[in-house]
């Protein structure tokens, strides 16, 4: 039984390492190719209504990733550097950072719920609840509710003013590159959702919604999970499953 668990853990870690390394290389190649055929992206003519909506969607999805990276890093200097890289290079940074985190796992950690080991900072794995004057859980609920409604409003406004996004002329080289960038981040978020959900049916449901509605689903899912925490709970408990919350 232990050998089987060890084999599954090892396969999972190696699979996730390979996945995020390939995704990082894919996005680097996409970026280089797009620059070579269409020039730099810093041009006003690229900012069509649907490109703007896609960028809003993209950067709202960056917010939870940036919050997690800031929590994971032990110093504000490294946290700030990684967040700047996230903003500038998107999924290259996301997949590269995740690859590094899975690479850092010791053989023993790889066998003991590796996703849990990657998600939590080591100092919080046996920490008690901190006492705070202001609840980060309540602040996060408000933040992600506002971001979700912002994206919903952006989507409705763009549909009304520019029509359907399913038009061939919208797929410019930089729009295609942005969509690849966006969906690589969706893959990272989907791994978290699959880990969090107790059964594959609900995991599949949420991942399909992530693919179809992007950051609207991200925000809705995060708010749903935040509502399961009390205002006194530390915010990092949202990262792990109900079972693991009892252990932390």
In this prediction, residue 121 carries a pLDDT of 87
With vertex at residue 169, the alpha carbon angle to CA 164 and CA 172, rounded to the nearest 5 degrees, is 115
Indicate whether 195 pLDDT > 80: yes
What number is the average pLDDT over the span 30-44?
95
pLDDT tens digits, 125-176: 554 444 555 679 999 999 999 999 999 999 999 999 999 999 999 999 999 9
As a whole number of angstroms, the distance between CA 140 and CA 162 comes to 32
Tokens of 214: 């992007």
Confidence of residue 123 (pLDDT cuts 50, 70, 90): low
pLDDT tens digits, 60-105: 999 999 999 999 998 999 999 999 999 999 999 999 999 999 999 9
Indicate whether 246 pLDDT > 80: no
In this prediction, residue 173 carries a pLDDT of 96
Tokens of 157: 């406004």
Tokens of 86: 């996230």
Tokens of 1: 């039984």
Indicate whether 58 pLDDT > 80: yes
What number is the average pLDDT over the span 33-59?
95
Q: Would you give the distance in Å from CA 74 to the centre of its chain?
A: 20
Burial pattern 22-51, b for ≥16 Cβ within 10 A else e, equals: ebbeebeebbeebeeeeeeeeeeebeebbb
* Helices 215-226 and 173-196, packing angle to 10 deg: 20
As a whole number of angstroms, the distance between CA 240 and CA 128 comes to 15
With vertex at residue 106, the alpha carbon angle to CA 104 and CA 111, rounded to the nearest 5 degrees, is 120
Indicate whether 49 pLDDT > 80: yes
As a whole number of angstroms, the distance between CA 235 and CA 136 comes to 6
What number is the average pLDDT over the span 113-129?
75
DSSP-H helix ranges across the chain = 2-38, 49-72, 76-89, 91-103, 107-111, 114-119, 136-162, 173-196, 200-213, 215-226, 242-247
What number is the average pLDDT over the span 37-47?
93
Q: Which 8-state DSSP code applies to residue 236?
A: G
Give pTM, 2 decimals. Answer: 0.91
Find the Cα–Cα–Cα–Cα dihedral 91, 93, 99, 103, rounded to 10°.
-170
Indicate whether 109 pLDDT > 60: yes
> Does the CA dihedral 75-76-82-85 come out positive or negative?
negative
pLDDT tens digits, 196-245: 998 999 999 999 999 999 999 999 999 999 999 988 899 999 999 876 66
């Amino acid at each position: 039984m232990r050998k089987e668990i060890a084999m599954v853990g090892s396969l999972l870690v190696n699979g996730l390492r390979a996945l995020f390394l390939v995704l990082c290389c894919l996005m680097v190649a996409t970026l280089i190719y797009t620059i070579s055929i269409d020039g730099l992206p810093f041009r006003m003519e690229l900012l069509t209504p649907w490109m703007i909506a896609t960028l809003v969607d993209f950067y709202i999805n960056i917010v939870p990733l940036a919050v997690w990276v800031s929590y994971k890093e032990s110093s504000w200097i490294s946290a700030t550097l990684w967040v700047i890289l996230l903003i500038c290079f998107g999924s290259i940074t996301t997949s590269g950072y995740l690859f590094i985190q899975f690479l850092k796992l010791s053989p023993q950690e790889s066998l003991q719920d590796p996703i849990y080991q990657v998600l939590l900072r080591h100092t919080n794995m046996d920490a008690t609840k901190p006492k705070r004057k202001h609840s980060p859980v309540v602040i996060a609920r408000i933040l992600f509710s506002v971001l979700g409604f912002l994206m919903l409003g952006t989507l409705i406004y763009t549909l009304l003013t520019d029509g359907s996004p399913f038009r061939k002329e919208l797929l410019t080289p930089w729009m295609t590159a942005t969509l690849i960038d966006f969906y690589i981040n969706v893959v990272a978020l989907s791994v978290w959702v699959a880990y969090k959900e107790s059964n594959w049916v609900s995991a599949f449901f949420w991942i399909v919604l992530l693919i179809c509605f992007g950051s609207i689903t991200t925000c809705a899912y995060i708010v749903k999970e935040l509502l399961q925490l009390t205002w006194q709970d530390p915010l990092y408990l949202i990262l792990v499953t109900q079972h693991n919350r009892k252990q932390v």
